[in-house]
Amino acid sequence: KNQVEQSPQSLIILEGKNCTLQCNYTVSPFSNLRWYKQDTGRGPVSLTIMTFSENTKSNGRYTATLDADTKQSSLHITASQLSDSASYICVPQGAGGSYIPTFGRGTSLIVHP
């Protein structure tokens, strides 16, 4: 069964600091991996999409990395802002017959002033 483990479950940082969120997955075969930001009570917002052949993808202050061999991904947030407080969700997607995405439980990030 496809599984996605995200760590840490929650994280508190001070405004302006950097942080890195981790994602391990077992989805196989694998086509791509997405990171989403979900504010409380809102729908997820796409941050990055990486195919299995990509190692890194940036979107402003967000940089995602992917190691398809070890099935690990990370999301690095630079110079955090109060508005970065949200849940960050890792979503690997299958390939080869089933493209159903598997969502992680997310990392809840709180940025304090």
Partner 1 sequence: EPEVTQTPSHQVTQMGQEVILRCVPISNHLYFYWYRQILGQKVEFLVSFYNNEISEKSEIFDDQFSVERPDGSNFTLKIRSTKLEDSAMYFCASSVEGMSQPQHFGDGTRLSIL
**Closer residue to partner 1, CB minimum distance, 43 or 60:** 43
Does residue 46 belong to the site contacting partner 1 (CB under 8 A)?
yes
Does 92 interact with partner 1 (rule: CB under 8 A)? no
Alpha carbon distances (Å) from 75 to 20, 41, 52, 66, 97: 6, 22, 16, 9, 28
Q: Rank residues 41 and 113 by Cβ distance to partner 1 and give the closer one.
A: 41
Give the footprint of partner 1 on this chain (CB under 8 A): 31-32, 38, 41-46, 49, 51, 89, 93, 98-106
